[in-house]
């Protein structure tokens, strides 16, 4: 997994509530082997004829390839498709700042090197108001967002997830170190709840 320490650059403001993972990436783009970054937010970014919609904030030249996305409430709600994270990263996004996230999207982000930052809605709005004023920096080590105005905003990420992202840790490798514990738990469970294990029918 790609590690994340800090990122600096433009922050695109997509201040809509409940942007779901179907809107982030349509299901058939996942199954057809398409360039996910190109098709991210396609219903928002492109007109029916496939040309970029000049009205869409994500198509403003200053936000092309922006590594930070400022989003509305409940970003990434809906489907568990991990391709939603891949699609954002395909656009160049490494960090999404929002008042809240869909729980599965939030978990998937950490598994792929995308940092989701939760900040109070009024703070996200304040940051969005500065999105055309210059670059932002998000630093996971110090857990701060620096706005173009110089304002520093603190955020917090669980230590387990922070360490995983900072070091690009492999969860499966870590868990496999507990194989003996897992095996012992299963042996005891086979006695305690035998019916769970009776699946040969």
Partner 1 sequence: MARTLFEKIWDAHVIRDLGDGWALLHIDRHLLHDLSGPPALDEIARRGLAVCNPGLVFATPDHAVSSRPGRDAKSFELGGYLYDMLKSRSQAAHIRFFDLGQEGQGIVHVMGPELGLVLPGVTLICGDSHTCTNGGLGALAFGVGQSESAHALATQTLRQKKPKLMRVRFEGAIGQGVTPKDLILHLIGSLGAAAGSGYAIEYAGSAIRAMPVEGRLTICNLSVELGAKYGLVAPDEKTFAFLEGRRFTPQGASFNEAVASWRELFSDDDARFDREEVIDVGSISPTVTWGTSPEQVIPIDGVVPDPAAASDPEERKTRQAALDYMGLEAGRPIAGTKIDWVFIGSCTNSRITDLREAAALARGHHVARGVTAWVVPGSETVKRQAEAEGLDHIFRSAGFEWREPGCSLCVAANGESVPSGARAVSTSNRNFVGRQGSGARTHLASPAMAAAAAIMGELTDVRRI
Contacting residues toward partner 1, per CB under 8 A: 15-18, 20, 22-23, 26-28, 30-32, 43, 48, 72-74, 77-82, 85, 100-104, 107-108, 111-112, 125, 158-160, 171-172, 175-176, 178-179, 181-182, 185-186, 189, 193-201
Residues 20 and 41 sit within 8 Å (Cβ to Cβ): no
**Smallest separation, CB 108 to partner 1 (Å):** 4
Nearer to partner 1, 17 or 135 (CB): 17
How far is Cα 56 from Cα 6, in angstroms, rounded to an integer?
27
SS3 state of residue 138: strand
The tokens for 78 are 């809906």
How far is Cα 77 from Cα 178, in angstroms, rounded to an integer?
32
Nearer to partner 1, 7 or 107 (CB): 107
Residue 197 to residues 124, 176, 185, 188, 201: CA-CA distances in angstroms?
48, 21, 13, 12, 11
**Smallest separation, CB 10 to partner 1 (Å):** 21
Nearer to partner 1, 65 or 189 (CB): 189
**Smallest separation, CB 150 to partner 1 (Å):** 25
**Smallest separation, CB 184 to partner 1 (Å):** 9
How far is Cα 120 from Cα 73, in angstroms, rounded to an integer?
10
Nearer to partner 1, 8 or 197 (CB): 197
Nearer to partner 1, 154 or 198 (CB): 198
The tokens for 77 are 């709600």
End-to-end CA distance of the chain: 39
């Amino acid at each position: 997994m790609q590690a994340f320490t800090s990122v600096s650059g433009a922050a695109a403001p997509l201040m809509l509530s409940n942007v779901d993972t179907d809107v982030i990436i349509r299901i058939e783009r996942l199954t057809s082997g398409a360039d996910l970054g190109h098709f991210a937010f396609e219903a928002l970014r492109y007109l029916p004829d496939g040309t970029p919609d000049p009205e869409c904030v994500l198509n403003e030249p200053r936000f092309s390839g922006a590594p930070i996305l400022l989003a509305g409430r409940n970003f990434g709600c809906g489907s568990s498709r991990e391709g939603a994270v891949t699609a954002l990263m395909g656009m160049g996004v490494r960090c999404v700042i929002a008042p809240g996230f869909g729980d599965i999207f939030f978990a998937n982000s950490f598994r792929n090197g995308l940092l989701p930052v939760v900040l109070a809605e009024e703070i996200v709005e304040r940051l969005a108001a500065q999105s055309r004023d210059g670059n932002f920096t998000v630093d996971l080590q110090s857990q701060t967002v620096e706005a173009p105005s110089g304002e520093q905003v603190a955020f917090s990420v669980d230590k387990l997830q922070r360490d995983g992202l900072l070091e690009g840790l492999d969860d499966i490798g870590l868990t496999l170190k507990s194989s003996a514990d897992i095996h012992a738990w299963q042996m005891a469970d086979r006695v305690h709840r035998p019916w769970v294990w009776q699946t040969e029918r």
